[in-house]
Amino acid sequence: MTHDPVLLSAALELLAPQSGETVLDVTIGLGGHAQEFLHAVGERGRFIGLDADAENLHAASARLGEQQKNVTLIHANFRDMGTLDLPPVDILFADLGVSSPHFDDPQRGFTFRSDAPLDLRYDRKSGLTGAECLRQWSAEQLADVLRSYGEVQGAYKLAQVIKSSGNVETTFTLKKCVEDVFGFRAPSRLPQIFQALRIAVNDELAALEVILTRGPDLLVPGGRMGVISYHSLEDRMVKRAFRARSQHTIDERTGAIVVQSIFEVMTRSPIRPDDAEVERNPRARSARFRVLRRRAPE
């Protein structure tokens, strides 16, 4: 299986891993970014990788191969990073995109192109499946999920159809509900709907809030934190969190800086993939990369 890490060149340029540094990758996925980070920090460096999907960790471990002497892999969602004994790091990296195997394996339920159980979980040993969520949510709750995470127009009508159709257990059963509501517009609505359900099932925005709150405090002076997001809600959260961390304390009377922030934003605008990368890897199209740096003492 080929794996093309999104915005790899930008990540290496802006995060600039150096020999001997410690890298924490909280979404190791198939290990594409990890492999390059590990190569850069060398034998004197250290790499720590987290992933909620045990299958991803297995694939990443196989990819890293002999490089693993200074590698620690942990089966955990980064929402739980506060409970892990993580050391200070030079680089903290998160790629919030869905891993290729989640789409490529129909049995995971992430794609509407194949009929399969509507699972949608990253960690198949934890939490409710997509089908179970649809059974438990009210029509109002489901409509709110579709509007908030997928910006789906006609969300309440679709929610009513889903609830009235009985148990929606498979991807094709859900797809049929969407087609019944949206007709010829269904193909353009399906990605939004599956995305919204995936975000809700995995509680992705709450998990992101954890890393944006706790992550910067793990950085050593001079440390860098980079986040690749794929959804406007995610990117907005990253932008606001990084901006808040980099705000100086200002004297309200004079406007003078009283206390300088120990953080600075390194990306005034998000870094996006160029046309060549999008052509090579269409899944990178919506990627946005932002970087925060902890200032080194002068």
Note the pLDDT tens digit of each residue in 37-93.
Answer: 999 999 999 999 999 988 889 989 988 876 677 899 999 999 999 899 999 999 999
Whether 73 and 60 have beta carbons less than 8 Å apart is answered as yes
- 179 pLDDT above the threshold of 90: yes
pLDDT at 296 over 70: yes
What is the average pLDDT across 109-125?
90
Strand partners of residue 93: 25, 226
Out of 3.30.390.50, 1.10.1660.10, 3.60.20.10, 3.40.50.150, which CATH number does the structure's domain 8-101+205-294 have? Answer: 3.40.50.150
Residue 197: name the closest of 228, 167, 160, 171 by CA: 171
Q: What is the CATH number of domain 123-201?
A: 1.10.150.170
Per-residue buried b or exposed e for 137-175, using 16+ beta carbons within 10 Å of the residue's own CB: bebeebbbbbbebbebeebeebbbbbbeeeebbbbbbbb
CA 3 to CA 124: how far, in whole Å?
A: 22
Range scoring the smallest mean pLDDT among 179-193, 212-226, 246-260: 246-260
What does the pLDDT read at residue 97?
Answer: 82
Q: Do residues 278 and 259 make contact, with C-beta atoms less than 8 angstroms apart?
A: no
Average pLDDT taken over every residue of the chain: 92
Cβ 159 vs Cβ 172: under 8 Å? no
Q: Which candidate, 98, 99, 91, places its Cα nearest to that of 226? A: 91
Above 60 in pLDDT, residue 1?
A: no
On the question of pLDDT at 34 being above 60, the answer is: yes
State the CB neighbour count (10 A cutoff) for residue 177. 22
Find out whether 18 and 41 touch, Cβ atoms under 8 Å: yes
Q: Is 206 exposed, middle or buried (0-12, 13-18, 19+ CB in 10 A)?
A: exposed
Alpha-carbon distance of 224 to 220, in angstroms, equals 8
Is the Cα dihedral 84, 87, 93, 99 positive or negative? negative
- Please give the pLDDT value at position 107: 79
Strands 288-294, 219-229: pairing is antiparallel
Residue 2 in this model has a pLDDT that exceeds 70: no
The pLDDT value given to residue 283: 85
Residue spans in the chain of domains classed CATH 3.40.50.150? 8-101+205-294
- pLDDT for position 152: 93
This prediction's pTM: 0.91
- CATH 1.10.150.170 segments of the chain: 123-201
